Chains A and B, each alone.
Chain A
Amino acid sequence: MMPSESEVVLSVRDLDTVISTKMGSFSAVDRVSFDVRRGETLGIVGESGSGKSMTGLSLLRLLPRHAASIVGGSVKLGETELLDLNEPEMRKIRGREIAMILQDPQTSLNPAFTVGDQIMEALRLHRKPGKGGYLAMAVEALRKVRVAAPEMRVSAYPHQMSGGMRQRVVGAIAISCRPQIIIADEPTTSLDVTVQAQYLRLLRELQEETGLSIIFITHDFGIVARVCHRLAVMYAGQIVETGPVRQIFERPSHPYTEALLASVPRLHRQTGRLPSITGQPPALWNKPKGCRFAPRCPYADARCHAEEPPVFDLGGTGVMQHSARCWRLQP
């Protein structure tokens, strides 16, 4: 279910984010580029430490002030360059144009305020009151995320709700101001499997109803298949492959993607042992000179170890555009 050719709502080019540690400054997000279209779900997939969460935070410029900062690149929402905005201007974007959902529903909601208060806070910041005022709007937001008896739930405290319901509340906060894009950082990782499925379906329905774009950050390839239209695979701070989900699954072009797909257990295949990728991703301060995946790559040759490969275009335009960062693809 691929959306037809639609406009690009977010355009990221060569985003560079640096982390400061006791041992010095290191690149965590390295020349990351991708587009997000209206009504599309882009998955950013990678292991922990690949830089995917950092990318998400960088888009909203929510990096911890003294520990990390964006040092280069461009993030354009429509015509607006987000990296040029000052803080008050950026605050108008947050929650209003781009919203965020975090991983752990347990800790995402402030325990001292009711669920309704927290939704209404977002509403007050970004929208004018409709009929019935902000309270009615909050109830409506809860209804949209399929929370039962929203009029009662609106005055409940987070600790009085289950994990799945809390995550819905987080979703309600996110959609309440009708953003163009939602950045969802591992939204289902902390949920039970059945609850997970319900939540993913909810996101899909919201997207179909409103034309919402979603950037779905996850490490779980299985989820990606169900939810995303396009995929960006990240490794050691770089995007190594971008393309339509189906195509990537059928014809992975980067050895890392290939290995990841091979390690996902599938019901219809009988496997003896689950294949896993040998080795570890490189440490932040110890990135190899050439291709970052070369040390673990079964196809790596001398050039791979010596020179970093550029991104090669594999054809397709717009939503079908497919590219990967690997020397084997050089024509």
Chain B
Amino acid sequence: MHMSTPASAEAPAIRKNRARFLRPGGYPVVPIVILTLVLIVPALFSPWLAPYGAEETDLRTRLAPPVFFGGSWDHMLGTDRLGRDVLSRTMYGARYALSISAVGILVGVVIGSTLGLIAGYARGWFDTVIMRLVDISLALPAMLLALALAALSGPSFRSVIIVVAFVLWAYFARQVRAEVLSLRELDYVALAVVAGSSHLTILRRHILVNVMNTIVVLATLQVGIVITLEASLSFLGIGIPRPTPTWGLLVSDGRQLLTSAWWLSFFPGLAILLTVLSVNLFGDWLRDRLDPKQRTI
């Protein structure tokens, strides 16, 4: 009788989860901190916190580099062609990033979710029509619409909101509808119908409450996309028009002076990156907490 311990004699070690450091105690501390510092605080408090005004020019200090690259602490992230402080302009830029995403998402989510809710609950021809619209809408890239709008009415705050809402509504309509479809089959909904509750009450009390979770998670995950979209549009000149100092515009202006003043494009773009990254991480955490069946990873 051969007694032997085969090659893998020890019990396999338990793999440590490497992402643990990002979430001490289970909360996404790092993303929230970054998000607060880069987006929320500047967006809300820049008039008081920014060292200079967004349009404050000072031709004596034009094109000053950032502090560790030959500049001074007066202008930590450098200045542009007109002597405007990059840090301050970036901070003010946060306001537009936050407001556009907030408004755009709100509009898109409300329209999409409402339509999805009704489509999923009422079914019938309304459902079919909405879903066809959703398919067509999802089949069209946002850029096409943005180009068309910009050509017609010129870039504006309103056209950006329209593009954002267009991008979001169909996605939300579809997701919400799917959720509603499965919810309405549940027994307690049937009971409510039998008990004589009006459709509106059922929608509100039973279905909406459960769908809310999904909506919140999805909306958070969309923030990154919306901010990037707005920035891209502004960069191209078909988003929020000059002279509003959105991050996209700042990067675009910096493009001309790339060889001599790299900091003009770098820092606003970095702000976008950090914001989107933290929002994505936060959204992932939120999804794991509230709605794990959305997990794809």
Contact = CB atoms under 8 A, between A and B. Distances in A.
* Chains A, B in direct contact (C-beta < 8 Å): yes
Contacts, number: 45
Interface stretch (A38-46, A62-70, A102-110, A119-127): A62-70
A66 B12 contact: yes
Q: Chain A at the B interface: mostly helix, strand, loop or mixed?
A: strand
B8 A13 contact: no
Interface residues of B, number: 15
A72 B12 contact: no
A29 to B, nearest CB: 13
B1 interface: yes
Contacts of B13: 20
B6 A83 contact: yes
Given A21-B14, A86-B7, 6 more contacts: A22-B14, A66-B15, A69-B11, A74-B3, A83-B6, A84-B4
Interface residues of A, number: 23
A21 B5 CA distance: 21
A21 B10 CA distance: 14
B10 A71 contact: yes
B18 interface: no
A25 interface: yes
A86 B4 CA distance: 14
A83 B14 contact: no
B9 interface: yes
Contacts of B1: 13, 74
Contact of A18 (B3, B7, B11): B11
A76 B1 CA distance: 9
A205 interface: no
A83 B4 contact: yes
A20 B14 contact: yes
A67 B5 contact: no
B11 to A, nearest CB: 4
Most chain A Cβ neighbours within 10 Å, of B1, B5, B11? B11
Nearest to A73: B3
Nearest to A71: B9
B182 to A, nearest CB: 22
